[in-house]
Amino acid sequence: MALSCLTQALRSLTLSQPALLSSQTVAQLKPGTLGPAAVGQWRGFLTTASVEQNRTLWKQRDKYTIKPIGMKKTGGRDHTGKVRTRGIGGGHKQKYRWVDFQRLRYEPNKEGHPFEEKVVEVRYDPCRSADIALLAGGNRKRWIIATENMQAGDIIKTSGVIGRMAVSANEGDAYPLGALPVGTLVNNLELQPGRGSECIRAAGTSGVLLRKVNGTAIVQLPSKQQVQVLESCMVTVGRVSNIDHNKRVIGKAGRNRWLGIRPSSGLWKRKGGWAGRKIKPLPPMKSYVNLPLISAS
Amino acid sequence: MFPEATRCLKASAPLFSKNVFLNASAHGGSSSLPLRRSLGVSHCLAAKVAPPKKPREKVEIPGLEVVTYGDRMHYVPGLAKPVYPSWERSYKDPRFYKSPPAQEMALYKDKPCYVFNQRTSVLEGVRQAAWLTKTSVMHGLPPHLVSLSATAENQLPNQDERVQDAIKHARFWDTTEPRPRKEKYSNTLLLNLLHLCATLQPTHPAVGRRILAENYSLAATWTRGEDLFQIRGQNGLLHCSMDPLPRVCEEKEVLETSDQVLESFYPVSPTIDLQQVNVYKEDVNCTGFRGDYPYPHAHTLYFLETPDPNFKLRPEQFRAKMIMFTFGNALARAHKLYGTQPQTLLERPVTVQAVGTNGRIFQFLVFQLNTTDLSGDDGLKNQVWLDEDVELYDFAKVRPLIKRKEVKVPAGLTGYKPETFSKFLALYLHGAV
């Protein structure tokens, strides 16, 4: 379609009266990219046209579902079609299971109350290193990242209440950071309350709740970096499932190809300062809390 | 110059300019040099790529008159896109009918209704079906029912041989292909077994007062607690008769069921996996047939596995579906006989049977509806006798299973179990003996 646009545009330019650019051609051209070319009688034309591709339409679903969704692989290519990330391509076909990262999601009519859910099954997810668990509670079912000792038939609690006393949490339960005792292993950390968990989701990882400081809590991530978040951010207790993930041996090049990892370039490159183990001081603590500015006057 | 050519030049410019950052370079490069070259990377990775453009947000300012290019009949850069009213068809065309949203439909109600249809696969299986129908589940068929087919006069001549022939016909002979498919052979097997049972009609005249019916739509409504439930759909093959089935259980035992407690499965709600609708007709009770149908009483339901691969039911869910539809048939019948007001004890309980199969494994079910007062959890319960996973035969292999040059399972029919057919026959003859 881009080619036909180009040929049409060029054909119209060869007409004796350039002002008679047909409205049809102009209507097909993308208006936004004409820019400074439209000066006086010169009506600019576009040599490319964006074709509506359904490359990302598979992930535009509004309603949550537990049914696995067919996925389109990108091969590391971005929206222009060029390789943006090297080493991605091929691999076994995968279906995406929509994991609900916002653990504290109430059912439509039951806002505000802590609730329990039952683990129906724990299964392998091809899209991530951790295992996923199907939770059923009330009238709905959802997928979550499974923790280490989660089994089918367990009852899991989710609560948004921060009491005065710290809760003795069982593994797999989800509480706000303010409700947990200092020193618990946590995973699926939310950086802002209600946003959904973005940290500590990989297999076998866990963070440590270091201390709680008036309204905020400081968590150490698996990379030993410390992060300060509001104490109402939800977090799950325990280690993420599939703890032996880092001990697995790939064994052969083919297994990497099944995982969708293409080989790296075989060209010999002289090592610069990038190679080797680095021992650096810890980066400063990252704070996701907008504290009011204290101006010393 | 054409814009495309200029873009090409711009793309090649970074290779020659000094201060260029190449974000695709995975090796980082030494930061001391101002010139960073991508090492061993092809040209296309070096070019700057524009980020995907989001379309500009259209702002609506009320009261502001927008100048559009609609009058000029062609696009003019700088003017707004004209918005025309959407065209509505002035006449009614059923091919292009757009239904109104749910809130505007005539039958919309605020209170949702939970519907069980033939594709529902409930999470908790038989326990959930028992809770929804206020039933106490007993494993194993009642013994007096099973002994119906033990007497010689209630058996077929050459019964085992004829049943084995029926199985072989369904599994091996009914096709021109190497092997018939599952939907086909399970259907053929069921019809063959029904035919065998029907050959007893000369000796049992009551068998002649029955007929098979298919593709009938069932509807029944009941309340449980505060929720409204409905069962709708086409369930399978129905064997209906002119006479109702006799009661299976004595009244004494029926009264004892009021002491039993229904199993609860907290935290899962009993309405999980049911279709929630806000647009429904209240109080639909339809047995699937009109009032003057000569065979009004449902005798046995025969369930086969659905051919649709999206709605495959596991054995537990299959049994739950059997219970729900048997209950639906019984309830629709009871509502017809005794009215829609909930009755604590029916003086003549409605009995319906069901058989489900996947071609080899059978599930037998006898349901007795004792009460239509289903709103509370206490009180009299309905009863169901469930015989799960009864095999008719072990293997029916077209080609023998050979492992390490040893024949593990020979070709043909192996492991025939005659008790299963006698149970099938007993359920068939119930009411006709």
- The 10s digit of each residue's pLDDT in B382-404 is 999 999 999 999 999 999 999 99
Q: Tell me if B123 and A115 make a contact (CB, 8 A cut-off).
A: no
Please compute, for residue B262, the number of CA atoms within 13 A of its CA located in the half-sphere on the CB side. 24
In angstroms, rounded to a whole number, what is the distance separating the alpha carbons of residues A226 and A217?
A: 10
Question: Which of B217, B203, B206, B229 minimizes the C-alpha distance to B283?
Answer: B229
Helix, strand, coil percentages, rounded to 5, for chain B: 30, 25, 50
Q: Tell me if B24 and A86 make a contact (CB, 8 A cut-off).
A: yes
Q: Is A56 on the interface with B (CB under 8 A)?
A: no
Domain membership flag for residue B191 = yes
Domain range for B387: 133-219+234-258+283-429
Percent of chain A with pLDDT over 70: 79
Q: Which residue of A has its CA nearest to B78?
A: A31
Domain membership flag for residue B373 = yes
Q: Which residue of A has its CA nearest to B75?
A: A27
Q: Tell me if B44 and A137 make a contact (CB, 8 A cut-off).
A: no
Q: Tell me if A84 and B44 make a contact (CB, 8 A cut-off).
A: no
pTM of the full predicted structure? 0.81
- The 10s digit of each residue's pLDDT in A248-274 is 999 999 999 999 999 988 888 888 888
Interface mutation vs chain A, best among B75, B76, B226, most A CBs within 10 Å = B75
Interface size between A and B, measured as CB pairs under 8 A: 76
The ipTM (two decimal places) reads 0.80
Nearest chain A CA: its distance from B26 CA (Å): 9
Per the prediction, chain B carries an average pLDDT of 87
In angstroms, rounded to a whole number, what is the distance separating the alpha carbons of residues B383 and B253?
A: 10
**Contact residues, chain B, for A263 at CB < 8 Å:** none
CB nearest B267 (choices: A31, A80, A116): A116
Cβ neighbours of B35 (radius 10 Å): 9
Q: Tell me if B4 and A37 make a contact (CB, 8 A cut-off).
A: no
Residue B33: pLDDT band (50, 70, 90) is very low
Query: Do B384 and B351 contact (CB within 8 A), yes or no?
Result: no
Give me the torsion for CA of A191, A196, A202, A205, rounded to 10°: 50
Domain membership flag for residue B143 = yes
**Contact residues, chain B, for A84 at CB < 8 Å:** 24, 49
- Report the pLDDT averaged over residues A23-46: 47
Q: Tell me if A138 and B40 make a contact (CB, 8 A cut-off).
A: no
CB nearest A26 (choices: B24, B47, B74): B74
With a cut of 80, say whether residue A12 has pLDDT above it. no
**Contact residues, chain A, for B75 at CB < 8 Å:** 23, 26-27, 31
Q: Helix (H, G, I), strand (E, B), or coil: what is residue B111?
A: strand
Residue B241: pLDDT band (50, 70, 90) is very high
In angstroms, rounded to a whole number, what is the distance separating the alpha carbons of residues A27 and A69?
A: 36
Percent of chain A with pLDDT over 90: 61
**Number of domains composing chain B:** 1
Residue B44's pLDDT is 53
In angstroms, rounded to a whole number, what is the distance separating the alpha carbons of residues B247 and B350?
A: 7
**Contact residues, chain B, for A155 at CB < 8 Å:** 267
Residue B22's pLDDT is 41
- The 10s digit of each residue's pLDDT in B125-164 is 999 999 999 999 999 999 999 998 888 888 999 999 999 9
**Contact residues, chain B, for A158 at CB < 8 Å:** none
Burial letters B58-67, b for 16+ CB under 10 A, else e: eeeeeeeeee
Cis peptide bond prior to A281, omega within 30° of 0:
no
- Report the pLDDT averaged over residues B102-131: 93
Question: Which of A193, A189, A137 minimizes the C-alpha distance to A162?
Answer: A193
Contacts of A117 (CB under 8 A, 6+ apart): A135, A136, A137, A138, A155, A156, A158, B267
In angstroms, rounded to a whole number, what is the distance separating the alpha carbons of residues B429 and B414?
A: 27
Query: Do B378 and B363 contact (CB within 8 A), yes or no?
Result: no
| Token pair recorded at residue B143 | 């013994």
Q: Tell me if A139 and B73 make a contact (CB, 8 A cut-off).
A: no
- The 10s digit of each residue's pLDDT in A174-194 is 999 999 999 999 999 999 999
Domain membership flag for residue B273 = no
Q: Tell me if B267 and A26 make a contact (CB, 8 A cut-off).
A: no
Q: Which residue of A has its CA nearest to B5?
A: A47
Please compute, for residue B374, the number of CA atoms within 13 A of its CA located in the half-sphere on the CB side. 24
Q: Is A141 on the interface with B (CB under 8 A)?
A: yes
Domain membership flag for residue B211 = yes
Domain membership flag for residue B106 = no
Q: Tell me if B26 and A23 make a contact (CB, 8 A cut-off).
A: no
Domain membership flag for residue B339 = yes
Residue B403's pLDDT is 95
In angstroms, rounded to a whole number, what is the distance separating the alpha carbons of residues B425 and B193?
A: 9
Q: Is A38 on the interface with B (CB under 8 A)?
A: yes
Domain membership flag for residue B10 = no
